Amino acid sequence: MGGPSTVSQVKESWRLLRPDLFFLCETKRKKGFVKTVARQLRVDQNWFCVEPQGKSGGLFLCWSNEVKVLNIVPSYFSLEVEVLQPSDGSSIWVIFVYCSSQIRERVEQWDFFLKARPNWGNLWIIGGDFNDICGHEEKKGGRRRSHSSFDFFNSFIGNMGMKEISSLGNETTWANNRVGEGFVKEKLDRFFGSLDWLSNFPNAISQVNFRSSSDHCMICLDSSPFKKPLKKRFFFDKRWLHRERIDEVVQKSWCVDFSGVPMYRVQSKISECRIRLLKWSSNFRNLSNARMKLLNLDLDLERKKGGERDWNKWHKLKREMDVEYLQEEQYWKQKARIQWLKEGDKNSKFFHALTLQRRKNNKDL
């Protein structure tokens, strides 16, 4: 969580994807900092963390209000999470892992999961950074491993009685970002499911998404990939007040004549104003989105070149992406609907409380 745009990208992922569960490993941050991030994500008490050991490790989990977490069994390298299924009152276990880079310790951790598995019942999934691969096809660059070195991980998978969940996107999930022949990329992160879980969720897909703030890709598991998207609520962006022609847009929409009782006519004018503002603002709002998508695409293209990438261009693109995320963060700060008293204040109880209070008032109305 220490990079310039890491927290911004975490917040963006939480806001856009709206996941039920959100897990980060190797946070390298104490509980105080993680609590600040949780406050920015506005998850209230729906979060849990394991502090790092020295300067390495650290786990963070948060979940939406729609999810009922029944139990969390923590260790320094995993979180075993029991989640209620509202449909029938049963539970599913979701296990998040961050395995060691040292083979001896990693094998001990796998033995830990084998012993814990009976506690999970028949419906469970396990995913995260396993820090190992199944074969040569999952590694590009670096020293070639012996065939026998894959036996431990493949035996663990077989003994667990699980199957990897189908994935889309990048074939590898991690890169060391070293120049030239020292460049290595591997598939270290993935999700597995028990056979019963896979039978209950046959359409489940994991999406591998590149994130510029980390050397690992983000893995998004969707158990029901055909859900209907939620309708977005209208939000007036105060930055519009500094744009040209906004007065004209509002005036023209308010001058549209509607028939009916006075209250209906007022509501119709407000609706017309909202529609015209959205149409008018889409031009420059889309430019900002397009800019971020283009930067992310350029970064992804450079990433795929491995150690032969243009490293000057790579670092320049990352700096530009950091700037874009900073501007995007300023946009979301404005959702508190009041000017910030101090630029860069990312830990304000006042603004958090203000937003929660507005939400409550809107529900009461």
Determine phi and psi for 182, rounding to 5 degrees.
-80, -5
Q: Summarize pLDDT for 195-243 with one digit per residue, the tens.
A: 999 999 989 999 998 877 788 999 999 988 765 555 566 767 776 777 7
The mean pLDDT of the chain is: 84
What gap in Å lies between CA 210 and CA 77, rounded to an integer? 23
- Check residue 332 and give its pLDDT: 62
CB 204 within 8 A of CB 176: no
Where does the pLDDT of residue 292 fall: very low under 50, low under 70, confident under 90, or very high at 90 and above? Answer: confident
Where does the pLDDT of residue 331 fall: very low under 50, low under 70, confident under 90, or very high at 90 and above? Answer: low
Higher pLDDT, 293 or 201: 201
Question: How many residues does the structure list for the chain?
Answer: 365
What gap in Å lies between CA 276 and CA 280, rounded to an integer? 6
Higher pLDDT, 233 or 11: 11
Q: Summarize pLDDT for 80-90 with one digit per residue, the tens.
A: 999 998 878 88
Amino acid at 80: E
In CATH terms, the superfamily for domain 6-222 is Endonuclease/exonuclease/phosphatase (3.60.10.10)
Q: Six-digit token pair at 129?
A: 């950074």
Q: Which residues pair with 282 in a beta bridge?
A: none
Range 175-191 average pLDDT: 90
What gap in Å lies between CA 315 and CA 174, rounded to an integer? 18
Range 128-155 average pLDDT: 95
Range 88-99 average pLDDT: 94
Helices marked H in the chain — which ranges? 6-17, 31-41, 103-116, 151-160, 195-200, 246-254, 262-304, 311-333, 349-364
Residue with tokens 């529900």: 363
What gap in Å lies between CA 50 and CA 52, rounded to an integer? 7
72: part of which helix (H) or strand (E)? strand 69-75
Residue with tokens 């431990």: 152
CB 220 within 8 A of CB 206: yes
Range 307-313 average pLDDT: 82
Identify the burial level of 309 via C-beta atoms within 10 angstroms of its C-beta, where 0-12 means exposed, 13-18 middle and 19 or more buried. middle
Query: Is the dihedral angle over the CA atoms 306, 311, 313, 314 positive or is it negative?
Result: positive
Where does the pLDDT of residue 78 fall: very low under 50, low under 70, confident under 90, or very high at 90 and above? Answer: very high
Where does the pLDDT of residue 363 fall: very low under 50, low under 70, confident under 90, or very high at 90 and above? Answer: low
Q: Six-digit token pair at 17?
A: 């994807």
Range 318-336 average pLDDT: 69
Most confident of 167-176, 242-251, 326-335: 167-176
- Check residue 338 and give its pLDDT: 44
Q: Can you give the pTM of this predicted structure?
A: 0.67
Where does the pLDDT of residue 110 fall: very low under 50, low under 70, confident under 90, or very high at 90 and above? Answer: very high
Side-chain-facing half-sphere of 88: CA atoms under 13 Å: 3
Domain ranges of the chain: 6-222, 238-359
Q: Summarize pLDDT for 339-360 with one digit per residue, the tens.
A: 444 444 444 555 555 555 555 5
Where does the pLDDT of residue 284 fall: very low under 50, low under 70, confident under 90, or very high at 90 and above? Answer: low
What gap in Å lies between CA 20 and CA 125, rounded to an integer? 14
Residue with tokens 């396990």: 126
Helices marked H in 185-261 — which ranges? 195-200, 246-254
% of the chain at pLDDT higher than 70? 83
- Check residue 265 and give its pLDDT: 81
